[in-house]
Amino acid sequence: MDSAQRYNEEKKYSGSSGPRATIRLSGGGRYAGSCGQVMMNAELQAQVTFDVASIRADFPILARTIYRQRPLVYFDNASTTQHPQTVLAAMERMYRERYANVHRGIHYLSEQASAAYEAARETVRALIGAERAHEIIFTSGTTASINLVARSWGDANVGPGDEILLTIAEHHSNIVPWQQLAARRGALVRFCELSFDPEADLESFRRQLSSKTRIAAFSAVSNVLGYRFPVKEMVAAARQAGARTLIDAAQHVPHEPTNVRDWGCDFLAFSGHKMLGPTGIGVLYGKESLLDAMPPFLGGGSMIQSVTRDGFVPGELPAKFEAGTPPIVEAIGLAAAADYLSEIGFERISEHERILVQRMHARLGEVAAVHILGPACAHKGGIVGFGVTGTSHFDLAVHLDLQGYAVRLGHHCAMPLHQFLGRHDSLRASFYLYNTLAEVDGFVEALQAALQHLRG
């Protein structure tokens, strides 16, 4: 269905999502969702610790309307996030005033660009608590970061009969590179199934580890269910078994405090576009000793120290893994996003999302046909995946879109997880610092109206 068809359909669709500007208080009772008893709306509202309206003013796109003047409600943050004016301004200024290639010139602009690029690296180092700036490798995203480790560290360290341990909840980007590595090297990929209880899943993970496990790669937070893995404990268990660890932190770094030294992980990957930054920029963190020992993955450009007819000598870290012209302006945008989030505070962002998730669980509990997937909200970040019995998920997503609600439909690049859950697809609402309790209430009302409309 294209935009014109959706506009025509919207004119026929009479379901109303109610007012978006105010919070509708309950009649004194307590909502009961999959989290058991949760606080009343007024109590949750009282816990909001920062001025969401002020934050929303920083995001021009959130002020727009779609279709027949429906306010846009953006609940697709696990896929990609919107951009505050500070990020847009930092990138524009770089293009307007300081743009040149980095590390390749002695002229003024090149020196300015190089300094800004390396300052961005230092910002990222501080963001995730790495010890050294050259442990931060800029890539094009989480997918590229994981592929770099699988190709470079993996090809050098994984052999026939070795095992690679994943969880069933992984994004395809943290499955396929390891399957490719296993096919190249004659290794075996194993999956740890989940109960979505951190203590039980930690024990399951420990049982899957063996002397054959070369690396354990897992998400910090599931992109489908919002499930928070017990990362520090899983890393410790893998280390005790003699295995390396890679953390897919794409859904963690944007939302909660992250410290790679506290976790003790060997590698960590995340993306800029999931934390208010631009696309085309991601980060691979690796321990210096491991990165030093790894062969370069891509060849050419900035990654060399010298080249002769007989071969080449790679450059020092981090240049060794940043072949070609790097994502210069994107790195500056990522640093601006990190500064914006850090100023607000990741603890406050995480708490705000917890409040939104509590409200969503409670309100969805009012809708008999809805089944919330995954753990109770005490064990999840700002993502709520759910299914609806007896109604097409596609039709629901279209009707929600017509009412202004941007949610995700599909397998979310996690087919094995959906197979494990016995589902073909799911709907997903994912929150960030600019979402509100009123938007959650309006969403559930729009969902109820859509179900009524579709069922005649």
Q: Which residues is 134 bridged to in the sheet?
A: none
Separation of alpha carbons 227 and 248, rounded Å:
13
User: How is residue 92 written in tokens?
Assistant: 């524009």
Give whole-number Cα distances, 447 to 303, 330, 395, 418, in Å. 52, 37, 11, 22
Phi, psi (deg, nearest 5) at residue 57:
-65, -20
The β-bridge partners of 271 are 282
Active site residue 413: yes
Q: Which amino acid is at 242?
A: G
Tell me which of 35, 192, 265, 413 is the catalytic residue: 413
Rounded distance, CA 411 to CA 81, Å?
A: 19
**C-alpha–C-alpha distance, residues 456 and 345, integer Å:** 46
The rounded distance, in Å, linking the Cα atoms of 17 and 51 is 24
Measured from the Cβ of residue 47, the count of other Cβ atoms closer than 10 Å reads 13
The Cα 377–Cα 227 span in angstroms is 9
Two tokens, residue 338: 């990190």
First to last CA, the chain: 21
**Pair 256, 262: CB distance under 8 Å:** no
As a whole number of angstroms, the distance between CA 224 and CA 251 comes to 10
Give DSSP secondary structure letters for 226-294. Answer: -BBP-HHHHHHHHHHTT-EEEEE-TTTTTTS---HHHHT-SEEEEESTTTTS-TT-EEEEE-HHHHHHS
Half-sphere exposure of 322 (CA within 13 A, CB side): 27
- Which position has the token pair 């990741």? 346
Residues 6+ apart with CB under 8 A from 17: 403, 404, 405, 442, 443, 445, 446, 449
Q: Residues for the chain: how many in total?
A: 456
Question: Long-range contacts: 35-40, Cβ < 8 Å, 24+?
Answer: 35/358, 35/361, 35/362, 35/376, 35/377, 35/378, 36/376, 38/358, 38/359, 38/361, 38/362, 38/377, 39/358
The answer to whether the beta carbons of residues 68 and 402 sit under 8 Å apart is no
Distance from C-alpha of 211 to C-alpha of 400, rounded to nearest angstrom = 50
> Radius of gyration of the chain from Cα atoms?
23
> Helices marked H in 186-242 — which ranges?
198-208, 231-240
Please identify every residue annotated as catalytic.
Answer: 413
